[in-house]
Structure 1
Amino acid sequence: MNRRIVIKIGSSSLNHPTGGLDDRSIEKIVKVISEISAQGVECILVSSGAVAAGVGKLGLATKPKDVAGRQAVASIGQGVLIERYAQYLDDHNLVGAQILLSRIDLADPSRYKNAQNTLEQLLKFKAIPIINENDTVAVEELCFGDNDRLSALVAGIIHADLLVIFTDVDGLYTANPKIYPEAKLIEKVENIAQVKGLAGGAGTQLGTGGMITKLKAAEIATRFGIGTYLVNSNRMKDLPAYFQGEKLTGTYFVPAKHRLMGKKRWIAYGGLSEGSIIIDDGAVKALAKEGKSLLATGIIGAEGEWERKELVRIVNVKGTEIARGLVELSSEEIILTQGKHSDEVLRLIPDLEGNEIVHRDNMTLMI
């Protein structure tokens, strides 16, 4: 039985057709959280809607296109959003707690741990953490990009049993059901790589995500060993019954058998990479198929600048990300030693410990 759940609700499910927030939608999600909490399930809510709420509060036709405009609207809307949640939670004798996260909060190990400790304590207090990206101060390179990804990372932080992403569609289909009426709902996905081609593009006017962002979120969560549901927000009322053994209509993404843990998890999705190491096909095979560390002989190039022990992306000649890892040499040293055998590398870099440029223990595969 799942006993800790992260629920993600998007702007499309919260926004009123005439603009601003839809109070009925917020009331419904809070009612669901109340019923689940009464069953002993710990709930964490990742909620979009700050920009949409700000747009409605200001009476704007659309959200601003410039960064300063979006951040200003988000700062107005975030207060409106949390006020509405607090109002309805209070009606159910529940306490909400606002948490705004930036990408850097999960990239820095100490801040990551602080966020984890705060969330754990809030759950001990029986409070409902309400999480959103800190849009007001985030810069583009330090953004999560969408709350789907954020919800998956939060699920990993607090070791959730289940992630449920509510959206405006019933789940993942074999084709776009708006164009192809014969499209079928896919109820279970065991290999996300095989269905990525089914994802569409843009989301709604007030949202930032589409199906592809939800598949990426499911990929992250399932690699953490967390089962993920994609469910139409119209079926939100069915969620409490799921915890009593009833079927939940939507698409379920099966958790990976070999889950990422600890440092490997942070390397893959927490840390910020400083650059890229380009490797040849032989090195790709050694890493992806043979479970080996990265040696200098397989390196054919580098992009970006970094110091020793920093996090880098490892890509093939086409730019596809193969892995991420903590590198033993700086970017300058990589350029100096690329393509060379280990004995030559050790002659050029005598203080290098071992002959691995990125050790397998400090690397996570991304394919």
Structure 2
Amino acid sequence: MPADREAIRTASRIVVKVGSSSLTTPHGTIDVDRVDALVDVLAARHASGTQIVLVSSGAIAAGLGPLGLTSRPRDLATQQAAASVGQGVLVARYTSSFARYGVRVGQVLLTADDMMRRSQHRNAQRTLNRLLELGVMPVVNENDTVATDEIRFGDNDRLAALVSHLIRAEALVLLSDVDALYDGDPRKPGARRIAEVHGPEDLAGVELGGSGRVGTGGMVTKVQAARIATGAGVPVVLTAAAHAAQALNGADIGTYFHPDGRHPGTRLLWLAHATTGRGRLHLDSGAVEAVVGRRMSLLPAGVTAVEGDFAAGDPVDLCGPRGRVVARGLVNFDAGEIPELLGRSTKELASTLGPEYERELIHRDDIVILEPYN
């Protein structure tokens, strides 16, 4: 067994993500045999004392058959309807299958909008931790029934990476219908399995495929998820669902992404990767240096323009003078209030508008740097 993969075999808390194509038939219905095979593996690891969070796609796919749909719907309303029907089918199947081993499951549906709010973020963390303490296996999915295009994770690979950091997991296993990351199309001769990834340089020149038939993910989203998790210090294994047992046992299978050892704040990780800006604040060069270079709060005096329609507490992108997004933060004012504040000091604002305006537009604790600015 490779020494690095020993971390997977000995991990006491693991997040396992499985994609739609690994759970469903070509017609979009739940494949009972596939679900049971995955549950067999996870229940065995659970019996050894490991805490497992299962991030499972498949709700929309599972809803296709009962609704008489032959393919994944493109419009949001029908996707939400399919998710509403399919989520019950999916969880019922997991409940029945895990019951064979006396393992209880609990459904946890998350939205990106929930996770960027401080109170909801803490609630999700507490709920997942308590379920694990009680010996329950949480089955996590994005709440597709209520999520919108503007506020969604976009794929469960990214959700799984963020959950792995949220619960302080020691490993993340991404299961799909592809057994590893390859340096070319694995269906063509000569494609080589990439056994390990230490950093972005190991993927230079690698072409990543698109999404599957019933899911939203693809190799691109899996690599992005691996980068999120490893950037938070969590090792990742990417392989096929059929190889789940070997992956969890630390075998040299699939692709292993090495962690880089950093552990950023949980909320900032969510802010960077689970949200999109509802608007933009344009900063002058002095404000960029203060926010990005010196990690200070954003004050009204350094903002030159505002775009978008957002409310206090929403995430907004911060742009430098050349228009490039350099950071994201949770704003303290509605979009309509900000134009009157631009270019003015907080003391001036307090004297003319009232003491409640003697505060920052965005506090430094609510700002995440997305890229250096120079």
For the 8 Å contact 1:276–1:315, the answer to whether it is kept is yes
Superposed CA offset, 1:106-153 (max 9, x none): 132222222222211211221111111222232222222111121122
Cα distance in 2 between the residues matched to 1:123 and 1:209: 27
* Structure 2 partner of 1:206: 214
Q: Which residues of 2 match residues 324-343 of structure 1 at below 5 A? A: 324-327=328-331, 331=335, 335=339
Aligned residue among 241, 248, 253 for 1:249 = 253
For the 8 Å contact 1:277–1:313, the answer to whether it is kept is yes
Cα distance in 2 between the residues matched to 1:19 and 1:307: 39
Superposed CA offset, 1:332-355 (max 9, x none): 6765676x6xxx64575356658x
State the SS of the aligned residue for 2:306. strand
State the SS of the aligned residue for 1:89. helix
Cα distance in 1 between the residues matched to 2:299 and 2:286: 11
Are 2:62 and 1:53 aligned? yes
Q: Which residues of 2 match residues 1-367 of structure 1 at below 5 A? A: 1-179=10-188, 181-192=189-200, 195=203, 198=206, 200=208, 202-242=210-250, 247-269=251-273, 273-279=277-283, 290-293=293-296, 299=303, 301-306=305-310, 311-316=315-320, 320-327=324-331, 331=335, 335=339, 345=345, 348-350=348-350, 358=362, 360-367=364-371
Question: Deviation above 6 Å: which 4+ runs of structure 1?
Answer: 280-283, 295-298
Cα shift at 1:222: 2.3
Runs of at least 5 residues in structure 2 that lack an aligned partner in the other structure: 1-9
Q: Mean Cα displacement is larger for which, 29-38 or 136-145?
A: 136-145
Cα distance in 2 between the residues matched to 1:332 and 1:67: 29
State the SS of the aligned residue for 2:237. strand
State the SS of the aligned residue for 1:349. helix
Cα distance in 2 between the residues matched to 1:132 and 1:196: 32
State the Cα RMSD in Å.
3.1
Letter in 1 for 2:190: E
- Distance change in 2, residues 1:60/1:337 (3 Å): closer
Cα shift at 1:43: 0.7
For the 8 Å contact 2:18–2:176, the answer to whether it is kept is yes
Matched length: 356
Cα shift at 1:366: 1.9
Q: Mean Cα displacement is larger for which, 10-19 or 38-47?
A: 10-19
Superposed CA offset, 1:15-37 (max 9, x none): 22354122121111101111111
- Distance change in 2, residues 1:169/1:346 (3 Å): same
Letter in 2 for 1:140: D
Cα distance in 2 between the residues matched to 1:197 and 1:320: 25
Query: What TM-score comes out, normalization by structure 2 length?
Result: 0.82
Cα shift at 1:317: 6.0
* Structure 1 partner of 2:5: none
- Distance change in 2, residues 1:106/1:327 (3 Å): closer
State the SS of the aligned residue for 1:276. strand
Cα distance in 1 between the residues matched to 2:187 and 2:178: 10
Q: Mean Cα displacement is larger for which, 100-109 or 143-152?
A: 100-109
Superposed CA offset, 1:256-300 (max 9, x none): 333212443343345664322234678667765x44435778655
For the 8 Å contact 1:71–1:136, the answer to whether it is kept is yes
State the SS of the aligned residue for 1:45. strand
For the 8 Å contact 1:108–1:271, the answer to whether it is kept is no
Q: Mean Cα displacement is larger for which, 305-314 or 73-82?
A: 305-314
Cα distance in 1 between the residues matched to 2:336 and 2:85: 45
Cα distance in 2 between the residues matched to 1:146 and 1:121: 25
Runs of at least 5 residues in structure 1 that lack an aligned partner in the other structure: none
Query: What TM-score comes out, normalization by structure 1 length?
Result: 0.83
Identity %, equivalent residues: 38
